[in-house]
Chain A
Amino acid sequence: MSKPSRIPFYGFVLLLIAAGIAVATWRHMALGTPWLTGEQRPVWMIEARLDFDGLGESAMASLHIPEQPPGFRILTEQAASPGYGFSIVEESGTRRAEWTKREVSGPQTLYFKAQFVPDDSSMEHRPDTEPQPRTEFWEEPEATAVDELLARARDRSSTPESMTRELIRLMQPDSSVQNTTLLVSEGNYLTLLVRMLNHAGIAARTADALRLEDARRRQQLVPFLQIYNGDRWLTFNPRTGEQGVPENLLLWRQGSESLLDVVGGDNSRVSFSMMRQTVPALQLATLEASSNGLGVLGFYQLPIEEQSMFRMLLLLPLGALIVAFMRIVIGIRTSGTFMPVLIAIAFVQTTLVPGLIAFLSVVAIGLLLRGYLSSLNLLLVSRISALIILVIFITAGLSIIGYQMGFNTGMTVTFFPMVIIAWTIERMSILWEEEGAREVLVQGSGSLFVAICAYLVMSAPLAGHLTFNFPELHLVVLGLILLMGQYTGYKLSELHRFTPMKAYD
């Protein structure tokens, strides 16, 4: 018989480990799931406050809300408005928050809150239909002045962007152009700019932006100019001609005509408050997962109850890894192959010291009672069944006594798997009869040692974090276990066991 080649096997294991690490890295990059626990990310909490006076009739307030502001992603949205019906409506490419109420009188205040995450990769998508410049009509003498200004700007420019910049520069009061003073009057500057650009064949519109500064209240939106360059909308500061959206600027309104419409009320105003918050990066990733295609590969969309169950289940592979290592490489004898993992799982729920005390007392009392059972000369199945019932009595007794004595930890005994404990007691007892107390001690303490090691690993916050949030890392664990299955070297315990061989060397 020839040795089969191990290369495909090692290739497969390498592939498993590489795949696990690659998917985890991908998840980290795409979803922002942090590697470590406790990482923090900044989030802007912005609150829009609507005030209006009700006229004693039915009212509807409609506020434009951003859909995908450049440089940001929306994390959460919520409205606080007692007594009002609320919904978010999307029509003709704009999103509006709508509050409605049958009868409104007196001053009203409505709130809309949203959290924004800075995200450089967030880009506007292209408009579905190419925006067309509107046709504008001018009366004399403005018509001549506009034409002349546009002609000048066109002379000094080559593209829509440079034309816009030139026009803004010409429109400034300090520029020595006579026609500017003729056209510009208080309050109409931006609309005039938009009209002129449209007249010049460049689609243009206004937008409202919010300057983000920590802990500001009663902020107003700042108007900005946007032109369409044939590919996407570009934002300009209408005073300086500066192009682009600075980092601390959030475009609240773009692409819709009105910011706020109130029917059935007057004296309406909107103001903004903002606050810079830090949110655990993990929470952020969790919240975003639902909106992201990658979230399907995670557990965040499951109901909370199933999530917490998976949290426990996903720790099991780590325990199995520890058991494999302890048995294959170290050579510790345990009673029952995976009994230590189950005990460790119970320890995770009870914490170590109370769990250890509870486990040892249940097993010790169980062994005593088993001694009596063995003298009854019972069939194996009924003996085990009787033992299970006795174990339940013991745990119930310990819980009640512990509770009466004021130790709530006594209750944690119930986390131990009863059937496993019953079998453990049975095995230990037979081991005792056949091989003596020493072997019971060796295997019992071996099992406990492995269980405690597995517990220490499984209860580490990082372990829980990585196994739950990066389930693909289990491929790495699987790979390691497969590798260990090929380990043909000496166990640590064998280095001790074979010491008498020194004499023959």
Chain B
Amino acid sequence: MDWISPRKLKRLGMLNMNRRNVDYIARYNDRSSYPLVDNKLKTRLVVREYGVTTPKLLQVVRQQHEISHFRQIVEGMPGFAIKPAKGSGGKGITVVTGRENEDYVKASGARVGVSVLERHLTNILAGLYSLAGSPDVAIVESLVQSSPDLARYSHQGVPDIRIVVFQGYPVMAMLRLATTDSDGKANLHQGAVGVGLDIGTGKSLNAVQFNRPATLHPDTGLPLDNIHIDAWEQMLEMASRCYEATGLGYMGVDLVVDANEGPLLLELNARPGLAIQMANGRGLLPRLKNIESLKRPHFSPMERVRYAMSTFAASEGNLQP
């Protein structure tokens, strides 16, 4: 077993779980705002008013009997995603990318019959994937058509971008690429590759998979060190606007880039994970403290993004709080 000394971690400014929970989530995230992010249906409604776009909604399954309509609605769709509204950590999300005769093809390439998908909807309604097992609602969304220059890095599924937003300032970002290990999902703990992104430019920094450094994508074999995200400032601004929409001081914003519609919000997370620090190769703490020590916070999302881009850019070197 390899160990790193706590002093070294402190020097790197690594945020740990206890500190994140006590000093950031508990202090900056109001409990009453949680339902906004824990329920994807509510998230959609609230961010729309702030000009944040989301993937097209095909169907909301609230009752068991509504499952019978599911077959007709997805009949003509090339691809769609089934999500539990209150799911967490990517649990219960099934992505269907196409059809083959009567069967549906999942992102992983596995073929399933419609009855399997209907059972999945039943499970979602019963609350199998929701926090605390309460009854839930299933959302059926149209599949995001990833822009080709990004999609080629991802083995299956859509690469998404996680941006940690602290008091409206985007402080750290990473690109998450699905792998065979992650079954087409972009969750790091399920085996997706995390690529740290420079806040200043949107260019890739480092990459990790399963908490270990990676230089090539394990499935596609493409190098991960020269990725560049287009419309970077627009994405940061979108993430920043979610702060006004929800009031959550410390959150993770998950975005995707659609080939036709541009950046779309996938979901918000009130308890973003810590692995983003490893993908970036630097700790969150100095940046969080920098924002905390601001005497005059910026009021518009655009100003905040400009400040973050100039302050947290990788070329600035090691940032001191």
Contacts of A137 in B (CB 8 A): none
Contacts of A91 in B (CB 8 A): none
Number of interface residues of A (CB under 8 A): 30
A492 CB → nearest B CB, Å: 9
Which of A379, A485, A498 gathers the greatest number of chain B CB atoms within 10 Å? Answer: A498
Q: Which of B18, B208, B213, B249 contacts A489, CB < 8 Å? A: B18
The answer to whether A495 touches B9, judged by C-beta atoms less than 8 angstroms apart, is yes
Q: Mark A482-505, 1 if CB is under 8 A from B, else 0.
A: 000111111100111111111111
CB closest residue in chain A, given B190: A435
A42 CB → nearest B CB, Å: 52
The answer to whether B12 touches A504, judged by C-beta atoms less than 8 angstroms apart, is yes
CB closest residue in chain A, given B249: A1
Contacts of A499 in B (CB 8 A): 2-4
Is B212 an interface residue when CB atoms closer than 8 A count as contact? Answer: yes
Is B148 an interface residue when CB atoms closer than 8 A count as contact? Answer: no
The answer to whether A501 touches B17, judged by C-beta atoms less than 8 angstroms apart, is no
Q: Which of A309-341 contact B (CB under 8 A)?
A: 328, 331
Q: Which of A1, A435, A485, A498 contacts B9, CB < 8 Å? A: A498
CB closest residue in chain A, given B135: A380
The answer to whether B23 touches A505, judged by C-beta atoms less than 8 angstroms apart, is no
Given contacts A1-B28, A430-B128, contact A502 B4 (CB under 8 A): yes
A93 CB → nearest B CB, Å: 66
A335 CB → nearest B CB, Å: 14
CB closest residue in chain B, given A381: B126
Given contacts A377-B119, A434-B91, contact A491 B16 (CB under 8 A): yes
Q: Which of A279-299 contact B (CB under 8 A)?
A: none
The answer to whether B16 touches A488, judged by C-beta atoms less than 8 angstroms apart, is yes
The answer to whether B6 touches A497, judged by C-beta atoms less than 8 angstroms apart, is no
Contacts of B277 in A (CB 8 A): 498, 501
Is B8 an interface residue when CB atoms closer than 8 A count as contact? Answer: yes
Contacts of B119 in A (CB 8 A): 377
CB closest residue in chain A, given B213: A500
The answer to whether A503 touches B281, judged by C-beta atoms less than 8 angstroms apart, is yes
Q: Which of B4, B22, B115 contacts A501, CB < 8 Å? A: B4
Contacts of B39 in A (CB 8 A): none
Q: Which of A229-280 contact B (CB under 8 A)?
A: none
Which of A435, A499, A501 gathers the greatest number of chain B CB atoms within 10 Å? Answer: A501
Q: Which of A488, A491, A500 contacts B212, CB < 8 Å? A: A500
Given contacts A328-B18, A434-B91, contact A490 B278 (CB under 8 A): no
Contacts of A1 in B (CB 8 A): 27-28, 249
CB closest residue in chain A, given B16: A490
Q: Which of A488, A497, A501 contacts B19, CB < 8 Å? A: A488
Contacts of A496 in B (CB 8 A): 1-4
The answer to whether A498 touches B22, judged by C-beta atoms less than 8 angstroms apart, is no
Is B14 an interface residue when CB atoms closer than 8 A count as contact? Answer: yes
B116 CB → nearest A CB, Å: 9
Is B145 an interface residue when CB atoms closer than 8 A count as contact? Answer: no
Which of B8, B11, B91 gathers the greatest number of chain A CB atoms within 10 Å? Answer: B8
Q: Which of A379, A430, A498 contacts B122, CB < 8 Å? A: A379
The answer to whether A495 touches B6, judged by C-beta atoms less than 8 angstroms apart, is yes
Report the bound CA distance from A491 to B15 in whole Å: 11
CB closest residue in chain B, given A439: B189
The answer to whether A489 touches B6, judged by C-beta atoms less than 8 angstroms apart, is yes
Contacts of B190 in A (CB 8 A): 435
Contacts of B271 in A (CB 8 A): none
Q: Which of B5, B19, B278, B282 contacts A500, CB < 8 Å? A: B278
CB closest residue in chain B, given A497: B211
Contacts of A485 in B (CB 8 A): 22
Is B127 an interface residue when CB atoms closer than 8 A count as contact? Answer: yes
Q: Mark A454-484, 1 if CB is under 8 A from B, else 0.
A: 0000000000000000000000000000000
The answer to whether A501 touches B278, judged by C-beta atoms less than 8 angstroms apart, is yes
CB closest residue in chain B, given A375: B119
Q: Mark A363-386, 1 if CB is under 8 A from B, else 0.
A: 000000000000001011100000
Report the bound CA distance from A380 to B132 in whole Å: 13
Which of B3, B17, B122, B128 gathers the greatest number of chain A CB atoms within 10 Å? Answer: B17
The answer to whether B1 touches A504, judged by C-beta atoms less than 8 angstroms apart, is no
The answer to whether A488 touches B23, judged by C-beta atoms less than 8 angstroms apart, is yes
Q: Which of A435, A494, A503 contacts B213, CB < 8 Å? A: A503
The answer to whether A379 touches B126, judged by C-beta atoms less than 8 angstroms apart, is yes
Report the bound CA distance from A380 to B124 in whole Å: 9
Is B180 an interface residue when CB atoms closer than 8 A count as contact? Answer: no
Q: Mark A193-233, 1 if CB is under 8 A from B, else 0.
A: 00000000000000000000000000000000000000000
Report the bound CA distance from A489 to B212 in whole Å: 23
Q: Mark B6-42, 1 if CB is under 8 A from A, else 0.
A: 1011011010111100110001100000000000000
Given contacts A380-B127, A435-B190, A503-B213, contact A490 B281 (CB under 8 A): no
Report the bound CA distance from A499 to B5 in whole Å: 9
Q: Which 8 A-B pairs have the closest CB atoms?
A: A380-B126, A488-B19, A499-B2, A504-B281, A490-B16, A499-B4, A377-B119, A490-B6
Give 17 A-B pairs besides A485-B22, A501-B281, A504-B281 with Cβ atoms closer than 8 angstroms.
A1-B249, A331-B17, A377-B115, A377-B122, A380-B133, A430-B128, A434-B91, A489-B6, A495-B6, A496-B1, A498-B14, A498-B278, A499-B2, A501-B8, A503-B213, A504-B12, A504-B282
Q: Please name 8 pairs of A and B residues whose Cβ atoms are closer than 8 Å in the assembled complex, sorted by A.
A: A1-B28, A380-B126, A380-B127, A435-B190, A490-B14, A499-B2, A501-B9, A501-B277
A-to-B contact residues, CB < 8 Å: 1, 3, 328, 331, 377, 379-381, 430, 434-435, 485-491, 494-505
